[in-house]
Amino acid sequence: MSARLTAKLAALKSQKRAGFVPFIMAGDPTLQHTAALLGELPSHGADMIELGMPFSDPMADGPTIQAAAIRSLASHTKLDQILSLVESFRSTNQDTPVILMGYYNPVFHYGVERFMQRAAACGVDALIIVDLPAEELNEALPHARANAIDLISLIAPTSLATRLDLLAQQASGFVYYIAVKGITGDKSADYQTLGADVSKIRQHIPLPVAVGFGIKTPEDVARVSACADLVVVGSRIVSECESAPESIVKRVLSCCQSLAGGIQPHGK
């Protein structure tokens, strides 16, 4: 497990609050914008940063994040450049965990062992591979563990009845509960059932629970932070990158600070 991620989760627990995790797409619209955002997000409410790796067929993502991936690929963003961004970020920030999120095809073509080694050397703490289910982790998991990178397990609402024990065998770092059935940014989370869903996950998996998908406002953040350990917001933040490139950094940081303000203390 990543020492940096472990330390951050312990600090959040001691502070009795959930952590705020913004998602941005690397290279959207340019790597220079991403570098500027990485440097400023921790001072604008980010306890961790989820950094997207663009892919041409992002099946779990709604139109907002799909468009971000297209903008990034149009700028010819490469995996090595993304890893170098993290490496540069680590020259000034050794405390904020960075979680890479993406799809398996680019990692596979890069070379799984090579990717994990390079990611660890650059300061990546965890990895979310959206289309790599628990049954197919065997190729990636040993290399992740060997390099102290957590492979974050995704839990869908449809997994609650049948897959929690399987996921518990492989999960590390934290688990990520997808609070809606469907794609990112498509609908709002069901807050009437969220608390019960998170409680059920905790009964099977003794790790912090992140909740994402469908979280759009500071009020949404407040509701999720009442029961979750981490609150992840993606589409709402990425939407700030859709126009006026000259003001993207300012808009994204303002949005993150506003959303992070919704975090409420809890009694855990």
**Under 8 Å between Cβ of 31 and 245:** no
Query: What region does 181 belong to: left with phi over 0, alpha with psi -120 to 50, or beta?
Result: beta
Query: Which candidate in 50, 125, 150, 197 is catalytic?
Result: 50
Distant-in-sequence contacts of 8-15, Cβ < 8 A, 24+ apart: 8/47, 8/48, 8/95, 8/96, 8/97, 9/174, 9/208, 9/229, 12/47, 12/229, 12/230, 13/208, 13/229, 13/268, 15/265
The token duo for 142 is 């040993």
Is 136 a known active-site residue? no
Q: Cα–chain-centroid distance for residue 206?
A: 19
User: Hey, is 49 helix, strand or coil?
Assistant: strand
- Residue 150 backbone zone (phi > 0: left; psi -120 to 50: alpha; other: beta): beta
Is 61 known to be catalytic? yes
C-alpha 212/C-alpha 21 separation (Å) is 9
Catalytic residue among 28, 61, 220, 229: 61
Count Cβ atoms below 10 Å from residue 250 Cβ, excluding itself.
13
Q: Which of the residues are catalytic?
A: 50, 61
